[in-house]
Amino acid sequence: MVDQIRGVLALELGDCGGALESSRSGLSVAMSIRSSLTGGQCATCIVNALLMDADSEPTVEVIEMLALIRDTRNLSQLSFACEPVADYIARRGALETASVIAGVLRRHAPFGSFGARQRAETLELVANLSNVDTLMARGAAMSPTEAIDFAIEHVEQLIHAEG
């Protein structure tokens, strides 16, 4: 639990390396004691740290963490995990995909302070799409599990495109 808190604090301070180190350690402990809540929170912090920097590239670890959140049914972490994914995808120019994820988040994840910057940036980037409302409605119709699968699929596509 201490590592989980350290990871979140490091992330809030912009220390991606510290967030990764603490959250990976916290995840290891959480999985060893079968704490899906703490594991999901650590996984979310890892996703955020891996995608926070403008120069970051998606890795298989992002997919693994999203799958962990889905597989443990820790869907309370949906917004915290998908906010950085939507923002990252939008910054890479996949605005339609980001719009769909933004629609999911609008429905299933109340706007909170943790992802406020990311959501605002994503919405600003997709705002001028002529079909943004249709895309967001498509996302809003998804279940949280479908949303995580959609995010995983598109992160995988980015890995293959950039790899």
What digits encode the pLDDT tens for the residues 71-106?
887 767 877 888 899 999 999 899 999 999 999 888
pLDDT in tens, 136-161: 999 999 988 898 999 999 999 988 88
Provide the 10 A C-beta neighbour count for residue 138: 16
Taking the C-alpha atoms of residue 115 and residue 79, their distance in angstroms, rounded to an integer, is 8
Sole residue written with tokens 């967030």: 19
